[in-house]
Amino acid sequence: MPVRLRRRLTLSRRRTVSTAVTAVLVGGTFAGLLSVTGAPRTAAAQTATQDGAAPASPAAPPRASAPSPVPMPTGPDAQDPASDPGASGRPPASTAPGGKSAPSVMQIVAHPDDDLFFMNPDISQTIRSGTPLAAVYLTAGESDGVNARPRDAKAATADKAAYAEARQNGIRAAYSEMATGSRTSPWDRVAIPTAGGGLAELDTLRADPKVRLVWLQIREAGSTNQYRPHSLNGLWHGLIGTLESQRSSGTPVTADFRYTKDEVVATIAGLLDRFRPTFVRMQDPSPGTDPKTGKIRDHQDHLYGARFAQAALARYAELPGHPRVGVQNYLGYPTSVLPHTLDPETAGDKLKTLKTYAWMDGVNDCGTPAGCGDLKVAARPAGRGWTATVRYARGTSTSWVQRDRDGGLHAFSVLDGQLAAWRKPAGGGAWSGPTLLPGGGMDTGVTSVSLPDGRIAVYGTRTLLTGGPAGYRREVVSTEQSAPGGAFGPWRSLGSPERNDATGTSDISAPAVTVGADGRATVVLRDSLRRLTAREQGADGGWGPWRVLGGVDVVGDPVAATDGQGRGYVFASTVTTVLVWAQQVPGGPLTGPSLTALPPTTLALSATPAPNGDGVRLWFRKPASGDLRSADFSGVGPVSPVTELPGGVAGFGPVSGGDGLLAVRSRTGFLATAPHGRTGASAPAWKLERFLFAGAPDAGRDGVAAIGLDGRLHWTPAGPQAPAGRTVAAAE
DSSP code of residue 219: P
pLDDT in tens, 471-519: 899 999 999 999 999 999 999 999 999 999 999 999 999 999 999 999 9
In a domain? residue 201:
yes
**Shared domain check, 376 and 279:** yes
Q: What is the mean pLDDT of residues 101-107?
A: 95
Residue 75's pLDDT is 34
The residue range of the domain holding 440 is: 395-508
Q: Are 380 and 353 a contacting pair, CB within 8 Å?
A: no
Residue 94's pLDDT is 59
Number of structural domains the chain divides into: 4
Residue 426's pLDDT is 93
**Shared domain check, 287 and 181:** yes
Where does the pLDDT of residue 613 fall: very low under 50, low under 70, confident under 90, or very high at 90 and above? confident
Question: Which residue type occupies 439?
Answer: G
Instruction: Supply φ then ψ for residue 404, to 5 degrees.
Output: -90, 175
In a domain? residue 447:
yes
Q: Are 608 and 553 a contacting pair, CB within 8 Å?
A: no
Residue 411 above 90 pLDDT? yes
User: Which three-class secondary structure string do you get for 95-111?
Assistant: ECCCCCECCCEEEEECC
Residue 87 above 50 pLDDT? no
Where does the pLDDT of residue 66 fall: very low under 50, low under 70, confident under 90, or very high at 90 and above? low
Residue 37's pLDDT is 24
Residue 467's pLDDT is 78
**Shared domain check, 666 and 636:** no
Q: What is the mean pLDDT of residues 611-627?
A: 93
**Shared domain check, 271 and 148:** yes
In a domain? residue 427:
yes
Q: What is the mean pLDDT of residues 106-134?
A: 99
Instruction: Tell me the CA distances in angstroms from 721 to 673, 675, 684, one per residue in order.
Output: 13, 11, 14
State the pairing for strand pair 133-139/670-675.
unpaired
Residue 635's pLDDT is 84
Q: Which residues contact 418 (CB under 8 A, 6 or more apart)?
A: 317, 436, 437, 438, 439, 440, 442
- Domain end (from 487, 508, 529): 508
- Domain end (from 354, 388, 422): 388
**Shared domain check, 306 and 229:** yes
Q: Which residues contact 356 (CB under 8 A, 6 or more apart)?
A: 170, 173, 174, 177, 183, 373
pLDDT > 70: percent of the chain: 84
In a domain? residue 673:
yes
Q: What angle do CA 30, 187, 176 make, to 5 degrees?
A: 155
Measure the CA–CA gap between 346 and 353, rounded to whole angstroms. 11
Q: What is the mean pLDDT of residues 262-266?
A: 99
**Shared domain check, 627 and 591:** yes
Where does the pLDDT of residue 96 fall: very low under 50, low under 70, confident under 90, or very high at 90 and above? low
**Shared domain check, 292 and 151:** yes
Where does the pLDDT of residue 74 fall: very low under 50, low under 70, confident under 90, or very high at 90 and above? very low
Average pLDDT, the chain: 87
Measure the CA–CA gap between 166 and 543, rounded to whole angstroms. 55
In a domain? residue 85:
no
- pTM of this structure: 0.88
In a domain? residue 355:
yes
**Shared domain check, 413 and 368:** no
User: Where is pLDDT greater, at 118 or 730?
Assistant: 118
- Domain end (from 622, 645, 668): 645
**Shared domain check, 371 and 475:** no
In a domain? residue 7:
no
Q: Are 204 and 188 a contacting pair, CB within 8 Å?
A: yes
| Domain CATH number, residue 319 | 3.40.50.10320
Measure the CA–CA gap between 599 and 578, rounded to whole angstroms. 8
Residue 413 above 80 pLDDT? yes
Where does the pLDDT of residue 729 fall: very low under 50, low under 70, confident under 90, or very high at 90 and above? confident
Residue 44 above 60 pLDDT? no
pLDDT in tens, 337-365: 999 999 999 999 999 999 999 999 999 99
**Shared domain check, 668 and 624:** no
Residue 728's pLDDT is 75
- The radius of gyration computed from the CA coordinates of the chain, to the nearest angstrom, equals 26
**Shared domain check, 716 and 589:** no
In a domain? residue 239:
yes
Residue 599 above 50 pLDDT? yes
**Ranges of H-type helices in 17-118:** 43-50, 85-88, 114-118
pLDDT in tens, 133-177: 999 999 999 999 999 999 999 999 999 999 999 999 999 999 999
Cα end-to-end distance, the chain, whole Å: 51
Where does the pLDDT of residue 60 fall: very low under 50, low under 70, confident under 90, or very high at 90 and above? very low
pLDDT > 90: percent of the chain: 78
**Shared domain check, 712 and 576:** no
Burial class (CB in 10 A: 0-12, 13-18, 19+), 513: buried
Q: What is the mean pLDDT of residues 300-321?
A: 98
Q: What is the mean pLDDT of residues 321-330?
A: 98
Residue 26 above 80 pLDDT? no
Measure the CA–CA gap between 510 and 695, rounded to whole angstroms. 13
Region of poorest pLDDT, from 88-97, 99-108, 181-190: 88-97
